[in-house]
Amino acid sequence: MKFLLVEDNAELAKAISSRMKFDGHVVDHADKIGDAIAFSETGEYDLILLDIMLPDGDGRSFLKQHRSGGQDTPVIVLTARSQVSDRISMLDLGADDYVTKPFDHAELQARCRAVLRRKAGKGKTEIELGGAVFDPVAGTLQIGGAAIGLRNRELRLLELFMNAPGQIFSKQKLFDRLFSIDDDASENAIEVYVGRLRKHLEGCDLRITTLRGLGYRLDHG
Amino acid sequence: MKFLLVEDNAELAKAISSRMKFDGHVVDHADKIGDAIAFSETGEYDLILLDIMLPDGDGRSFLKQHRSGGQDTPVIVLTARSQVSDRISMLDLGADDYVTKPFDHAELQARCRAVLRRKAGKGKTEIELGGAVFDPVAGTLQIGGAAIGLRNRELRLLELFMNAPGQIFSKQKLFDRLFSIDDDASENAIEVYVGRLRKHLEGCDLRITTLRGLGYRLDHG
DNA sequence: TCAGACGTGTCAGGTTTGTGTCAGGTTGGC
DNA sequence: GCCAACCTGACACAAACCTGACACGTCTGA
């Protein structure tokens, strides 16, 4: 996936884009509205992350031009907690979602995935795999008709796996995605959650394989 | 489909119309009541999107003239959150639905589709779910034949849930949608309203599920 | 102008439960 | 057989949530 990040705070921009790159995305970075528009007009982005406070105008003007140019690239707005009015009008102007600063990277990732999925699947967010149906928006997992109640962390862990079945996630990576910087939990927590998730997945053809020293992987079949 | 958009806020108008165009519709835009009437008299529109706060009078006068002219083009009213009471009179005057700002584009799309479908198939305006009949248009909730009186905030909360049953709403999101910028209420208010709504929903198969750390969800069955 | 009704948001105290840790057991590679 | 990595049942705690009571403001009708 190719992302466009529009953010004037260099530090934050670097943090976000390095994380995104780590996740396997390509990130272009603009720190001015002018640049952002020029970039986006190429139309080659899958998603745009837009800060609304920028040196040469606010995100509104970008959104306006972006949409009036007939572009439909999804936009997620990054906004401060205090700017409630802004994030509301952003939605009106055609933003697809907003994330309030300060945000966990995990949260941002989740929102990105949700928006991309919504865009790609025409509103459908469910993922079907190995006899299980997972809907991250509803927060439900269905196995053989029965709905299974998942909690917050379990849900987010499952979402990670479901989005990349067959891929190895190192414990460190899972930890980074599940916890925020200032959470100081031990890596054992991951083991615990994998265990809990496994229990929930009994009864379908999905299983989480342990790869000693490497991490975990979701397999089906 | 050909839409008429009556909206004086140029930014918002552009955002809406560009999105609609992207969806494959043709959009004409009027920013005054006078123009709107002239446009609509051609009778060539499938749907009219009407803001009620306009420089040369409010949407009421447009609606009145529109209907008295014998036109039955469906009208969706765009209204600010604060103008809740207005919407009822709008509906009395013959509007088919309303959308409160701020709205997701997805929501607006959904409403448009619903109204068009209704018009084509002569459907009803109520939402029926889990043994309850909710009429967002009249603002009433019926359970087992008995009408339940909902207050303003409860109504709008229920409306949010009813429009997206099975979907998780974070407390933040509910807060953003229920309160306006300068309202500084605590998030506990949401908990209180959910509680009150739950009490009203006793006696039907609808229930609001709490998902700790995630939000709330309307379930039925 | 006053009284009563009503909608609304806060608060405090109580309850629930998601969560991470721990300790001891198990597994797998070398 | 030994060590490290991993699993897991039990547990304790704090955050998240619920709720009855209350206070404040607004509106209405007399």
Q: What is the pLDDT of residues A208-220, one digit of tens each?
A: 999 999 999 999 8
| Residue A137 forms contact with B (CB below 8 Å) | yes
Is cis: bond before B165, omega within 30 of 0?
no
Tell me whether domains A2-120 and A127-220 share a fold: no
Would you state the pLDDT for residue B184? 81
Residues of chain A contacting residue B80, judged by C-beta atoms under 8 Å apart = none
Mutation site, B5, B100, B105, B179, interface A, largest A CB count within 10 A: B105
Contact B217 A138 (CB under 8 A): yes
| Residue A93 forms contact with B (CB below 8 Å) | yes
User: Can you tell me the distance from the alpha carbon of A73 to that of A95, in angstroms, rounded to the nearest whole number?
Assistant: 10
pLDDT of A150 strictly over 90: yes
Would you state the pLDDT for residue A99? 83
Mean pLDDT of B167-178: 90
Would you state the pLDDT for residue B92? 64
Mean pLDDT of A119-130: 78
Q: Which residue has the higher pLDDT, B74 or B67?
A: B74
| Torsion angle of C-alpha atoms B23, A162, A170, A25, degrees rounded to 10 | -10
User: Can you tell me the distance from the alpha carbon of B65 to that of B13, in angstroms, rounded to the nearest whole number?
Assistant: 22
Percentage of chain B surpassing pLDDT 90?
Answer: 22
Percentage of chain B surpassing pLDDT 70?
Answer: 84
Fold of B2-121: Rossmann fold (3.40.50)
> How far is residue A182 CA from its own chain's centroid?
19
| Residue B104 forms contact with A (CB below 8 Å) | yes
All structural domains of chain A with their residue ranges: 2-120, 127-220
Would you state the pLDDT for residue A85? 55
Instruction: Read off the pLDDT band of A174 (50, 70, 90).
Output: very high
How far B163 CA sits from the closest chain A CA (Å)? 14
User: Can you tell me the distance from the alpha carbon of B74 to that of B77, in angstroms, rounded to the nearest whole number?
Assistant: 10
Q: How many inter-chain contacts (A to B, CB under 8 Å) are there?
A: 68
pLDDT of B66 strictly over 90: no
Instruction: Read off the pLDDT band of A140 (50, 70, 90).
Output: very high
- From A72, A85, A93, residue closest to B22, measured CB to CB: A72
Contact A92 B102 (CB under 8 A): yes
How far B151 CA sits from the closest chain A CA (Å)? 24
Q: Which residue has the higher pLDDT, B139 or A214?
A: A214
pLDDT of B25 strictly over 80: no
Nucleotide nearest to A186 (CA to C1'): C20
Q: Mean pLDDT check: name the lowest of A146-155, A158-167, B41-50, B63-72.
A: B63-72
Nucleotide nearest to B151 (CA to C1'): C7
How far B99 CA sits from the closest chain A CA (Å)? 11
Nearest CA in chain A to B211: A151
How many C-beta neighbours within 10 Å does residue A96 have?
Answer: 23
Task: Look over chain A and give the mean of its residue pLDDT values, rounded to a whole number.
Answer: 86
The sign of the dihedral angle between the CA atoms of B62, B64, B70, B71 is: positive
Would you state the pLDDT for residue B204? 92
pLDDT of A63 strictly over 60: yes
- Residue B47 contacts by C-beta under 8 Å, 6 or more apart in sequence? B1, B2, B3, B4, B73, B74, B75, B76, B112, B115, B116
Answer yes or no: is A154 CB < 7 A from strand C.
yes
pLDDT digits (tens, 9 = 90+) for B44-56: 788 899 887 777 7
Query: Integer distance in angstroms from CA B121 to C1' C18?
Result: 47
- From B15, B213, B214, residue closest to A93, measured CB to CB: B15
Strand residue runs (E) in chain A: 2-6, 26-30, 47-51, 53-54, 57-58, 75-80, 97-101, 127-129, 132-135, 140-143, 146-149, 168-169, 206-211, 215-220
Would you state the pLDDT for residue A62? 84
Fold of A2-120: Rossmann fold (3.40.50)
How many C-beta neighbours within 10 Å does residue B89 have?
Answer: 12
Contact B14 A123 (CB under 8 A): no
Mean pLDDT of A28-38: 89
User: Can you tell me the distance from the alpha carbon of B73 to that of B43, in angstroms, rounded to the nearest whole number?
Assistant: 8
Q: Which residues of A133-162 are buried (b: 16+ CB within 10 A; e: fewer)?
A: bbbbbbbbbbbeeeebebeebbbbbbbbbb
| Residue A63 forms contact with B (CB below 8 Å) | yes
pLDDT of B121 strictly over 60: no
Mean pLDDT of B39-68: 78
| Residue B18 forms contact with A (CB below 8 Å) | yes
Would you state the pLDDT for residue B22? 65
Query: Integer distance in angstroms from CA B176 to C1' D30?
Result: 40
What are the tokens at B81?
């959150």
| Residue B181 forms contact with A (CB below 8 Å) | yes
Mean pLDDT of B121-137: 76
Answer yes or no: is A175 CB < 7 A from strand C.
no
Query: Integer distance in angstroms from CA A81 to C1' D8?
Result: 40
Q: Mean pLDDT check: name the lowest of A11-20, B80-89, B205-214.
A: B80-89
Mean pLDDT of B134-141: 78
Of the CATH numbers 1.10.10.10, 2.130.10.10, 3.90.1150.10, 3.40.718.10, which one belongs to the domain with range B127-220?
Answer: 1.10.10.10
